[in-house]
Amino acid sequence: MKKFLVHSLTPPRTENKSARRMKQATLVVALLLPATAAWAQRFPDANELLANVRLHQSQQEIDLHGQLRQEARVVPFHLVQNGPVVRYIFSNPDETLQLRIGANDSRLDEIKRSGSEKITQLNEPVRGTAITYEDLALKFLYWPNARVIGADFIRTRNCWKMQLRPPTGDSQYGSILLWVDKDNGALMRMEGYDSAGKMIKR
C-alpha cells in the first residue's frame, strides 16, 4: 500500500503597511547604531585632552605686547612666558601678575617689592575690563567635568570641540566651550556662557 506524505499548507501571512514600516524603521535604527557607537569611540578622553592642553600651554616661550579692550577702554600689557611661568606686566600704575601653570592646578600671584601675594578674588575684573583674574589664571583647564562633544575647523585647523563645566558655583561661568587643535593641543577658541546659557565672553 502506497503511503502518501501529506503536507499541511499554511496560508501566507499578510502584514499591514504599519507593521512593514515598523520593521523598516527598526532595521534602519539597527544599522545606524553600530556606526554611531563607532563615531563616539573616536573621541579622545576629555581629561587626557585637557592634560595635553595644559602641557602645551606650559611649554611655550612668548614675548609680546597686547591689549585688553572693554568698549572704548584700552589697557596695554606686556606678556612674557618662559615655560610654565607667565608674566602679565601692566603700567600706569605698575602691576605684575605671575601665572604658574602646573600639572594639577594653576596659581596667579601679584608680584610686589615685598614678595608675591596669591590672588584669591578671581572673579574680579582686570583693570576695569571684561577679563577677570580667573581668565588669566586659566582655571577652566583644570575643571574635572569636561567632555568632548564634536569636531570642527577653526581657521583651517582641525579641532576637538569640548564643553567644560565648573565643579562649584564660584566661577563666573556656567559652562565653557573650547576648540583644541587635534595635532598640537593648542587652544584655538574659547566661548564662555553664564548659568542661563547666554554667551558672555569670546
Whether residue 114 is contained in a domain is answered as yes
Whether residue 190 is contained in a domain is answered as yes
Q: How far apart are CA 158 and CA 155, in angstroms?
A: 9
Cis geometry, peptide bond prior to residue 93 (ω within 30 degrees of 0): yes
How much of the chain exceeds pLDDT 90, in percent? Answer: 71
Whether residue 76 is contained in a domain is answered as yes
Whether residue 25 is contained in a domain is answered as no
Model confidence pLDDT, tens digit, residues 72-105: 889 999 999 999 999 999 999 999 999 999 999 9
Q: Which three cell numbers stand for residue 69?
A: 579692550
User: What confidence score (pLDDT) does residue 150 get?
Assistant: 95
Question: Under 8 Å CB-to-CB from 89, ≥6 apart: which residues?
Answer: 77, 78, 79, 80, 95, 96
Model confidence pLDDT, tens digit, residues 169-181: 889 999 999 999 9
Is residue 52 pLDDT above 50, yes or no? yes
User: What confidence score (pLDDT) does residue 7 get?
Assistant: 40
Domain containing residue 122: CATH number: 2.50.20.10
Q: Which three cell numbers stand for residue 30?
A: 539597527
Higher confidence at residue 17 or residue 146? 146
Whether residue 93 is contained in a domain is answered as yes
Please provide the average confidence, as pLDDT, over all residues in the chain.
84
User: What confidence score (pLDDT) does residue 158 get?
Assistant: 95
Domain with 162 in it: 47-201
